[in-house]
Amino acid sequence: MRPVYAVSGGVSKFAKARPDKTFQAILKEAYDYAIADIGLNHKQFIEIVDGSVASYFSDHFTRQLMAGIMAQDYLGLCPKPSHRVEGGGATGGICFQEAWKAVASGYMDVCIAYGFETMSHVNTWKGNEFIALASDVSFDYPVGGFYSGYYAMMVTGHMKEFGTTVEQMAHVSVKNHMNAYHNPYSQKQQKLTIEDVRNAPMVAWPLTRLDICVMSDGAAAVIFANEDGLAKLEKASGQSISKVIVPGIGRGTDAMRMADRPHQNYDDFMKYNLLEKEDNEEDRSYYKKLWDDGFRYPGIHSFRAGRMASKEAYENCGIVDPLNEIDFVELHDAYTSSEIQTYEDMGLCRYGEGGSFAVSGKAFTPGIEYGLDLADDPICPVNPSGGLIACGHPVGATGLMQGVFAIWQLQETIGKHFGDDKLQISEAKRGAIHSHAGTGTYVTVSILEKEE
């Protein structure tokens, strides 16, 4: 495979509703920004780009089949090759990786990935119904299945297994909302306390409204290129482009119905799911004790797809100690509980330690005042953008939004794009983006690195 660079990106303002524009026009905001940021206009870019990948989650929100080709046409990309991808909440992350593969394979020199969602066209209850269709409609959905209920069930399993608390979950909400306060693209810019989170309306115990991401209208775009494509873009723009390489990706899957997921024994976990960093006597003994106490994996408390996506990405990029070798992570925090679960899946801490990790301070962003008593200094900031909970979750755009913010972090241009460098991670060399579908059915992890 050829080296692939994430060259540039653009994001629209994420909002509860964008009645001022169609989905195509919202997408064009992100598209125009991405090409303008490398000094090009549309006429120049169209002569260089080889094709695209389109991302949106649901035909239901727009009441429009094949919205991807309408976006392709609106952006002036016809008749160049394109296709649409869909994979629940991981749709944007899959789109990022499909565009990466188009370039890595040699099929294209330059490829643009774009994604969008306009979820405001229906009432919230109807939107929740549409999202619930991403569960098994023959089994889960007819018995009252909806996603906040599923995640409430999962986190109560996590609480039972590991002693995770609602206060630990609330730390995630306070962190992500405060990060988003400094992100002008975010939907929710709020300063919260632990009490605010716990006193918010209860949705599905123990999840309150402030533990849960919001529905959004928004769009994002990322431009990928190989070395030849990068040279074409630089020649056309007359400027040097700060190089961010995507050295590897990972994916994982699991059964749609949680009841169909296995309860692996200790030996199988050691064989298939252990990260390289955990392959030592201390961690093996730690996990052996969990199994001796009745723990089984993944059960309903862990996302095996997230572990396997992380494991593959780390192996492809030579990462052994993710907490200390990755400078920041943008992960899929549809719920505060799922961020805690994902800390464990990604190996930022061991299984069972996500709650204590959440309150430690290690996942917080340096220089931001959270109003919390944190024991440790930040090591690997998680969701410095504000994540889905506060930045927003226009599903088809979300995984690409993570990619855009990761590119800007590694190009050290957060101050340029945000008008404030408060969220810039100092001397960031490597970041990870994580996108997650359903109850952990499709998960993608992509690694981005600053090339010196």
Pick from 108, 3, 14: nearest CA to 387: 14
Task: Compute and round to an integer the Cα radius of gyration of the chain.
Answer: 21
> What is the pLDDT at residue 183?
98
pLDDT band at 84 (very low <50, low <70, confident <90, very high): very high
> What is the pLDDT at residue 291?
96
SS3 assignment, position 355: helix
pLDDT tens sequence across 293-324: 999 999 999 999 999 999 999 999 999 999 99
pLDDT tens sequence across 250-280: 999 999 988 899 899 999 999 999 999 999 9
SS3 assignment, position 331: coil
pLDDT at 418 > cutoff 90: yes
- Contact status, residue 57 vs residue 396, Cβ threshold 8 Å: yes
Window from 25-29, 95-99, 117-121 with minimum mean pLDDT:
117-121
- Contact status, residue 90 vs residue 119, Cβ threshold 8 Å: no
Cα 107 to Cα 80: distance, rounded to the nearest angstrom: 13
The two beta strands, 82-85 and 51-55, are parallel
pLDDT at 452 > cutoff 90: no
Cα 35 to Cα 221: distance, rounded to the nearest angstrom: 10
SS3 assignment, position 382: strand
Q: For the whole model, what pTM was predicted?
A: 0.97
Pick from 317, 113, 85, 315: nearest CA to 225: 113
Q: Which CATH architecture has domain 5-122+215-244?
A: 3-Layer(aba) Sandwich (3.40)
**What average pLDDT does the segment 136-154 reach?**
84
Share of the chain above pLDDT 90, in %: 91
Cα 46 to Cα 234: distance, rounded to the nearest angstrom: 14
**What average pLDDT does the segment 428-435 reach?**
98
> What is the pLDDT at residue 140?
78
> What is the pLDDT at residue 258?
86
Pick from 380, 310, 378, 389: nearest CA to 344: 310
